[in-house]
Amino acid sequence: MQDKPDAANLLQTIQELLMKEIMPRVKADEFLAYQTLVSWNMLGVIAREIKSGAVYQNAEIQRLQEYLDSPTPALAQSGAAHSAPESKTADAVGATPETAIRAGDERTAEPEPGYYERMQQAVILNQKLAQKIRSEGLDNRDGVVWNLVKQSLVEKLAITNPRFGLD
């Protein structure tokens, strides 16, 4: 069990530092002010991804599997399915964050084992949905498809831009 502060609290602290300490000092430089705001926003996205990303991802996969009547897609065993960037700071035995987490090493910050693989499964299922929409000529008049796509969009926006509502 991780003691407080957790990752989300640390990210929030960095966000506060950016807005309260850094922003007033760089306000005159439009480019630095813009970069500070972008950084502040991205830290918020990361914090929300840590808090809710896996929950939304699992819900999306379940909805897509039910609608498409499709089992969980199998991923390539070559390791190519893992879309997270590999660390350039491998230790002496060649461990990267990906291999360390799979070996049970808690020093890495990967959100959870299998997280990136689940992301790839969601991508595959969304590709199948897009293919079905195109091949069957489905559109927003199909309430089931519309609600499926809309719910996924609502959840993605809850992570990337929670101020944007679709209600």
pLDDT in tens, 76-102: 554 444 444 443 333 333 434 444 334
43 burial level (CB within 10 Å; 0-12, 13-18, 19+): buried
Residue ranges of domains in the chain: 7-160
Q: Does residue 142 contact residue 46 with C-beta atoms inside 8 Å?
A: no
In this prediction, residue 96 carries a pLDDT of: 40
Tokens, residue 66 = 């039910």
- Count each helix (H run) and each strand (E run) in the chain, helices first: 6, 0
Q: What is the pLDDT of residue 94?
A: 40
Q: Is the Cα torsion angle 37, 42, 43, 44 positive or negative in sign?
A: positive
Mean pLDDT over each residue of the chain, to the nearest integer: 80
CB within 8 Å of 2: residues ≥ 6 apart = none
141 pLDDT higher than 90 = no
Is residue 23 pLDDT above 80, yes or no? yes
Return the sign of the alpha-carbon dihedral for residues 148, 154, 155, 156.
Answer: positive
Q: What is the pLDDT of residues 154-167, one digit of tens each?
A: 999 999 998 887 66
User: How far are the Cα atoms of 8, 41, 74, 146, 153 from residue 45, in angstroms, in the given order?
Assistant: 10, 6, 29, 26, 15
9 pLDDT above the threshold of 80: yes
Pick the range with the lowest mean pLDDT from 45-49, 52-56, 107-111, 137-141. 107-111
Query: pLDDT at position 3, please?
Result: 73
Q: Identify which has the larger pLDDT, 108 or 133.
A: 133
Residue range 6-31: mean pLDDT, rounded: 94
| pTM, rounded to two decimals | 0.68
What percent of the chain is predicted at pLDDT more than 70? Answer: 74
Confidence of residue 109 (pLDDT cuts 50, 70, 90): low
The rounded distance, in Å, linking the Cα atoms of 64 and 49 is 20
